[in-house]
């Protein structure tokens, strides 16, 4: 009986550790997987850019509202209130491990309806159930980037 209890405790710890913190600002412990925390409808609350010298534009009062929905099927859709009924869409996936990130620390958004746009790579700095903060690098340059903050749309 004692061995069986130890096996269940060990199995439970393995499952919990798999859902623990990956990004620096992720929750220490989460009972939701990274997929479950990411999938859903999100509203952009603000963003800013850094060009290697100074930070700029914080759109917390910007009239443009951007919504993005990530589906469990691997599809994504984005809309903005001033895009005149235009919708961006495509497929999303977790990025594999590279020299500077671990597996599932970044999301790749591929575009379906814009042939000229290449897939974009978004490093996830914070991933909570109700909040996400991502970093998008200009041309892969770590000194030039956008930071986006999103909240879950209920």
Tens of pLDDT along 20-58? 445 554 555 567 788 888 999 999 888 888 877 766 665
Domains and CATH numbers, the chain: 2-152 (2.40.128.280)
Question: Model confidence over 89-124: pLDDT tens digits?
Answer: 899 999 888 877 888 888 998 888 666 577 888 899
Exposed/middle/buried for 23, CB within 10 Å: 0-12, 13-18, 19+?
Answer: buried
Predicted pLDDT of residue 121: 85
Predicted pLDDT of residue 150: 92
First to last CA, the chain: 44
Question: What is the value of pTM for the model shown?
Answer: 0.71
Nearest Cα neighbor of 43 from 29, 62, 22, 25 is 62
Average confidence (pLDDT) over 76-87: 76
Q: Which residues pair with 40 in a beta bridge?
A: 70
Predicted pLDDT of residue 46: 83
């Amino acid at each position: 009986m004692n061995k069986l209890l130890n096996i269940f405790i060990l199995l439970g710890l393995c499952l919990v550790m798999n859902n623990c913190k990956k990004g620096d600002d992720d929750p220490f412990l989460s009972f939701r997987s990274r997929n479950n925390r990411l999938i859903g409808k999100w509203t952009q609350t603000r963003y800013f850019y850094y060009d290697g010298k100074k930070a700029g534009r914080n759109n917390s009062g910007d009239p443009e509202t951007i919504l993005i929905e990530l589906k469990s099927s691997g599809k994504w859709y984005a809309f903005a209130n001033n895009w005149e009924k235009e919708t961006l869409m495509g497929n999303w996936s977790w990025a594999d491990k590279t020299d500077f990130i671990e597996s599932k620390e970044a999301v790749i958004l591929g575009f379906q309806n814009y042939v000229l746009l290449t897939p974009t790579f978004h490093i996830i700095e914070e991933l909570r159930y109700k909040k996400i903060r991502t970093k998008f690098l200009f041309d892969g340059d770590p000194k030039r980037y956008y930071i986006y903050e999103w909240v879950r749309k209920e």
